[in-house]
Structures are given as C-alpha cells and as structure tokens.
C-alpha cells in the first residue's frame, strides 16, 4: 500500500544514514502503585509505562528482551511496525513466534521500521499486557513535515487492581455466575490514568506538562488501555490533528474533543497561548456507555496539569472543558476529519473480498463468553501452539490448519475486508498486524459494493473502532509475506476468541529464511 509514498522513498534513500539502534530490556515482577493501590506488575526495566523504543525510518532496530519472570513466557509485539521481511519478529505466540521462556530466556527482535509516527509495544502473550508489559514507540521521519518547538508523550490507559495472571483469565474459566446462567465476565477497570511517557505511572501522581507561552507542542497521545476508550481534551486549547496511528494527516482539522480507542494513537499540535498566566486541565474521560461491564466506583475522568511557564504548579486551574457534542457515541472521528497528508485513492475493484461476521455471545454449553469470527472462536490462550508462520514455512496448506485458527489465505492483489458486528452487542477496536490499511467506511446498513464508501484518499490506520451493529469496510494491498493477526484490541475480547489471522502470500512465506534463534524458541 505504501510502496510509493514519499515516506517510503525517504526510507529507502535514508539507508545512507541508517543506524543500528539497540535496546536491552529485562522483564521482571515489581510491586508498584500507579493509582495508589499496591499491585504486582510485570515491568520492563522496572518502568510503567516501559522504555520508549525510538528510531528513525530506515534504522535497524535490535531489541533484546530477557524474560526474568519465574512463571510465565512472554513476547513483544511492536504495534504498527509492519515487520516487512521479518515476520518472525512480530511477537504473537501461536501466530509468528514461540514465547520467550521464563527464568532468563531471551530473544532479539530485529527489524526496520518503514512508517513514521507514534505507536507502542506490548506483550502479546495471553492477557499479559494489562500487567504492565507495554511502552511507547516513536519512529522519526527525517523529512518530518510538521514544525513544533517541543513534544510530549501522553499515555492514556485503564488500570486494574487485580494483579495475578490467572485472575485476569477469570472469564476463561467455564462456569456461571450464581444461578444466572451467565458466564463470568472479565473485570472492569479500577482506575483510568494519564502517564507522561516512560515511567510516568510508577507512582500515583498528577502528571504535569510544561507549556511556554507562544510555543507549539506536539503531543503523541497513545491509548494503552486493555479495555476502555476516552475523549481526550485540553481546556481552551484545540488539537490540530497531524497523525492517526502511523499515517501523517493533512493537518487541516482541529478538534476540541478527541475520541481515542484502545491501541489507537493521535499526533496533535497544540499552540500554547501568548500572554497567558494560568494553568489549564488536560482531561481524559472514559466513554463508559460503550462497555457492558462497568465499575460504579470508577472515576470516569482523569486529569493532568498543563503548567504554563511562570505560573506556580500548585495553582489549581479554573478552566472549563469544551462542550462535548459527541459524548459516548463509541465511534472514531468522522472519517472526513482524518485525511492522510500523502494522497492515495482506494482501488475501486478489489481482487479479493473477505466477509467476516464477528461478535460476543454467552455460550451455554462451554459456559463461557465467546467471541466468534464466522462462527469460530479463536483459542487465544493456546500460547504454546506451533506458530502458523512456521507451519506454512514447513509446507502446511492454509486449508489444512485447524478450523479454530480462523486462518484466511491472502494472495497477490488488493484485499477488501467487510467486517460486520451485528452478531452481538459491542463496538470493537479492531487491529490488523502488518499493514496500515485504508478505512473505506463504517456502514449502518448492508454492504453493496462501493455504495457509501469513501474511496478518495481514505483514512489510513492500523486500529479502527468498528461501531455497534455496523459494517466496517477496509482495504490493503498484499506486500508483506507473513501471518498477520487480526483481532479486537480489547484484551478480554481477544482472549474470548475475537481474532483471526491472514496468511499473506503463503508461497512467499515458503521462500523466507527464518533465523535459527527464532526457531530455537520453540520446544524441540
Ligand atoms: Cu472487542
């Protein structure tokens, strides 16, 4: 899809100045209290959020992760990084890597980013990521189109007091709640947090972002939630949209309220006022109407301080929020508001169209909530299964994979996916690995070819909020041999089975040379 964009050309030309960027990360348990309640978390280098992985387009990144957990494997997925030519570094157990073993196992993720912007990395091993195995990713574009004076990483996330891995698995234990005939639900968040980047939530504190009058700030806003989405805003300061996920935007739209769903990122420019002698609130407001599971004790709004130079940080703002006409509608921004900077129209006639009906329901026989894709629930807890990538490389046909793997073969050409959520209640932040795709539309009715779709320079991103009772249509070109996980990014929905995988260009996968250290993670 991005094969001909300026960013990709810059990436190719950039090899002259490309660097090797190395990180040494260590995962271990540590007890911290991000919301004032003590919790044993799994942290990389003892930080929550974890270290920032930062590189430039064309750099080779080498992240060595040592797993010092005594009792669980792990894996890291660099969300949004396409892993072109390195599909074994995508970090999904049972899809494209075997877990890094407990008690000192290690693996070096080696890859070359091909898109710039803001993202994050996280464990893809069972429901491990809400335990803290998560941190920011920044990929710099040497020909960055936007000018700004300074930048901040702003992480918004939900937080759960439950600390034990098996308790997070509570909704996978078959049974009913009392005599209700309803299977157990996953826990609701206990808090929502704003964290000022790496280590920003190691202790409970109100984050503070410094503004100097007249300067322009780039905020890299990342939703690292396992479950909930937010409306983000800064009182009296509009947000100029310059990036959504790894797509640079045209910068023509400013918003007062920014809906941001799990795993989505927005880059915005904020103009600090001149002659301003006050502080204002930054707000992240939980969109609780989107979720059937709620905690009445959860404080829906969390705030951070925007502290103007020359004003005491202890001065409590009296600023008021913008009115919110879009409150709780559980939708992305209108697609017309997030147009990419580099124009690319959508192919009108895709080579392949895949129809997926997805949703959650109470399975009375299994006594579990199950997420299904075309009536098949994906076994996300099966972390030790042989990765599909290795099966395909070893000659297995896609058609011969177990049905529950929800595998679809993608061959050469333009792929259109029509994703329907009328099967069960709920809006789902759906993420595709390996591609920044074009979002052609969220339809209220049935899919009829190009009717109602936006084919003129449509939004590009890697995580879209598919509304309730809707049909999302998105499109991409196959160019990335590998096995691309496609799943709801609400961690519990993924673990309930709302996932499938695209085996992209299987004939090309068979020509890949998979490094021995990737193979060696698998049991002999
Ligand atoms: Cu979901």
The phi, psi pair for 388, rounded to 5°, reads -55, -40
- Domain containing residue 217: CATH number: 2.60.40.420
- Ligand 1 midpoint to CA 312 (Å): 43
**CA 355 to chain CA mean position, Å:** 23
Q: What is the dihedral angle through the alpha carbons of 9, 10, 14, 20, rounded to the nearest 10 degrees?
A: -100
Distance separating the N- and C-terminal Cα atoms of the chain: 38
- Ligand 1 midpoint to CA 224 (Å): 15
Instruction: Give the pLDDT band of residue 323 (cuts 50, 70, 90).
Output: confident
- Ligand 1 midpoint to CA 492 (Å): 8
- Ligand 1 midpoint to CA 490 (Å): 5
Quickly count: other Cβ atoms within 10 Å of residue 72's Cβ: 20
> Is residue 343 assigned to a domain?
no
> Is residue 366 assigned to a domain?
yes
- Ligand 1 midpoint to CA 160 (Å): 18
- Ligand 1 midpoint to CA 426 (Å): 7
- Ligand 1 midpoint to CA 17 (Å): 41
Based on the fold, state whether residues 182 and 215 are members of the same structural domain: yes
Q: Residue 167's pLDDT is what?
A: 65
- Ligand 1 midpoint to CA 313 (Å): 39
Based on the fold, state whether residues 319 and 415 are members of the same structural domain: no
DSSP letter for each residue of 155-200: EEEEE-S---HHHHTGGGS---STTS--PPPPPPPSEEEEE-STTT
Residues contacting residue 373 through CB under 8 Å, at least 6 positions apart: 356, 357, 358, 406, 497, 498, 499, 500
Structural contact between residues 27 and 65, judged by C-beta atoms closer than 8 angstroms: yes
- Distance from C-alpha of 202 to C-alpha of 200, rounded to nearest angstrom: 6
Based on the fold, state whether residues 326 and 414 are members of the same structural domain: no
Instruction: Give the pLDDT band of residue 127 (cuts 50, 70, 90).
Output: confident
For a pLDDT cut of 90, what percent of the chain falls above it? 83
Decide which of 122, 140, 158 is a domain's last residue.
140
Instruction: Give the pLDDT band of residue 4 (cuts 50, 70, 90).
Output: very low
> Is residue 145 assigned to a domain?
no
State both tokens at 111: 């890859």
Mean pLDDT, residues 77-103 taken together:
98
Place of tokens 């809400």: 130
- Ligand 1 midpoint to CA 170 (Å): 17
Q: Residue 350's pLDDT is what?
A: 98
> Is residue 346 assigned to a domain?
no
- Ligand 1 midpoint to CA 226 (Å): 10
- Distance from C-alpha of 53 to C-alpha of 65, rounded to nearest angstrom: 12
- Ligand 1 midpoint to CA 23 (Å): 32
Domain count across the chain: 3
- Distance from C-alpha of 95 to C-alpha of 486, rounded to nearest angstrom: 11
Q: What confidence tens digit (pLDDT) does each residue in 275-297 have?
A: 999 999 999 999 988 887 788 89
Q: Which of 285-289, 436-440, 501-505 has the lowest mean pLDDT?
A: 285-289
- Distance from C-alpha of 140 to C-alpha of 142, rounded to nearest angstrom: 6
Q: What confidence tens digit (pLDDT) does each residue in 166-205 have?
A: 666 777 777 777 777 777 777 889 999 999 999 999 999 9
**CA 380 to chain CA mean position, Å:** 17
Based on the fold, state whether residues 184 and 252 are members of the same structural domain: yes
> Is residue 185 assigned to a domain?
yes
Based on the fold, state whether residues 470 and 360 are members of the same structural domain: yes
> Is residue 284 assigned to a domain?
yes
Q: What confidence tens digit (pLDDT) does each residue in 332-385 have?
A: 999 999 999 999 999 999 999 999 999 998 888 888 889 999 999 999 888 999
Task: Tell me the residue ranges of DSSP E strands in 335-375.
Answer: 352-363, 368-373
- Ligand 1 midpoint to CA 427 (Å): 6
Mean pLDDT, residues 89-105 taken together:
97
Based on the fold, state whether residues 168 and 305 are members of the same structural domain: yes
- Ligand 1 midpoint to CA 77 (Å): 19
Mean pLDDT, residues 24-36 taken together:
97
Mean pLDDT, the chain, rounded, equals 93
Q: Is the pLDDT of residue 262 over 60?
A: yes
State both tokens at 368: 């579990």
Q: Which of 1-5, 214-218, 491-495 has the lowest mean pLDDT?
A: 1-5
Based on the fold, state whether residues 264 and 204 are members of the same structural domain: yes
- Ligand 1 midpoint to CA 320 (Å): 33
Based on the fold, state whether residues 251 and 284 are members of the same structural domain: yes
Structural domain boundaries, residue 194: 150-337
Q: Residue 293's pLDDT is what?
A: 75
- Ligand 1 midpoint to CA 479 (Å): 27
Q: Is the pLDDT of residue 318 over 50?
A: yes
For a pLDDT cut of 70, what percent of the chain falls above it? 95
* ipTM surpassing 0.90: no
- Ligand 1 midpoint to CA 205 (Å): 30
> Is residue 342 assigned to a domain?
no
- Distance from C-alpha of 65 to C-alpha of 27, rounded to nearest angstrom: 7
- Ligand 1 midpoint to CA 371 (Å): 8
Based on the fold, state whether residues 368 and 482 are members of the same structural domain: yes
Which residues have beta carbons under 5 A from ligand 1 (an ion)?
428, 488, 490, 493
- Ligand 1 midpoint to CA 184 (Å): 16
HEC string for 283-302: EEEECHHHCCCCCCCCCCEE
Q: Is the pLDDT of residue 3 over 60?
A: no
Decide which of 140, 163, 187 is a domain's last residue.
140
Based on the fold, state whether residues 201 and 297 are members of the same structural domain: yes
Q: Residue 1's pLDDT is what?
A: 44
> Is residue 345 assigned to a domain?
no
């Amino acid at each position: 899809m991005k094969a001909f964009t300026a960013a990709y050309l810059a990436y190719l030309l950039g090899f002259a100045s490309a660097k090797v960027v190395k990180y040494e990360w260590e995962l271990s348990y540590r007890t911290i209290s991000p919301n004032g309640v003590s919790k044993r978390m799994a942290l990389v280098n003892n930080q929550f959020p974890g270290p920032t992985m930062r590189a430039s387009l064309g750099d080779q990144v080498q992240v060595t992760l040592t797993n010092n957990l005594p009792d669980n494997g792990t894996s890291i997925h660099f969300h949004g990084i396409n892993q072109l030519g390195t599909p074994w570094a995508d970090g999904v157990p049972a899809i494209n890597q075997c877990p890094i073993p407990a008690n000192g196992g290690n693996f070096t993720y080696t890859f070359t980013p091909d898109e710039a912007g803001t993202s994050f990395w996280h464990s893809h091993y069972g429901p491990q990521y809400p335990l803290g195995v998560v941190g920011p990713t920044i990929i710099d574009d040497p020909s960055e189109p936007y000018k700004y004076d300074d930048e901040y990483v702003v992480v918004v996330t939900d937080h759960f007091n439950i600390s034990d891995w098996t308790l997070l698995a509570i909704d996978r234990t078959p049974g009913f709640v009392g005599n209700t005939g309803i299977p157990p639900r996953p826990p609701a968040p206990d808090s929502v947090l704003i964290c000022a980047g790496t280590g920003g939530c190691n202790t409970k504190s109100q984050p503070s972002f410094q503004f100097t009058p007249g300067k322009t700030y780039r905020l890299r806003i990342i939703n690292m939630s396992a479950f909930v989405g937010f409306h983000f805003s800064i009182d009296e300061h509009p947000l100029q949209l310059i990036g959504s996920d790894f797509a640079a935007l045209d910068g023509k739209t400013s918003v007062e309220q920014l809906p941001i769903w799990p795993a989505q990122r927005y880059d915005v420019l904020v103009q600090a006022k001149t002659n301003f002698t006050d502080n204002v609130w930054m707000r992240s407001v939980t969109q609780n109407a989107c979720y059937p599971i709620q905690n009445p004790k959860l404080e829906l709004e969390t705030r951070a301080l925007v502290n103007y130079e020359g004003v005491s940080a202890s001065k409590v703002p009296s600023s008021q929020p913008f009115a919110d006409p879009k409150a709780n509608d559980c939708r992305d921004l209108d697609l017309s508001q997030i147009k990419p900077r580099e124009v690319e129209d959508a192919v009108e006639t895709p080579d392949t169209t895949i129809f997926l009906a997805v949703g959650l329901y109470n399975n009375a026989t299994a006594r579990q909530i199950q997420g299904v894709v075309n009536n098949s629930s994906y076994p996300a807890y099966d972390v030790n299964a042989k990765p599909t990538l290795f099966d395909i490389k070893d000659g297995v046909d896609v058609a011969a994979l177990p049905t529950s793997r929800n595998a679809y073969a993608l061959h050469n050409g333009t792929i259109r996916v029509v994703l329907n959520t009328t099967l069960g209640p709920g809006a789902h932040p759906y993420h595709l690995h390996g591609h920044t795709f074009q979002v052609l539309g969220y339809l209220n009715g049935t899919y009829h070819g190009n009717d109602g779709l936006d084919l003129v320079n449509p939004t590009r991103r890697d995580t879209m909020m598919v509304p309730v009772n809707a049909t999302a249509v998105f499109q991409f070109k196959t160019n990335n041999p590998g096995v691309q996980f496609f799943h709801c990014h609400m961690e519990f929905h993924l673990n309930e089975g709302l996932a499938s995988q695209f085996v992209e260009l299987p004939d090309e996968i068979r020509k890949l040379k998979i490094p021995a250290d990737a193979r060696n993670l698998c049991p002999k």
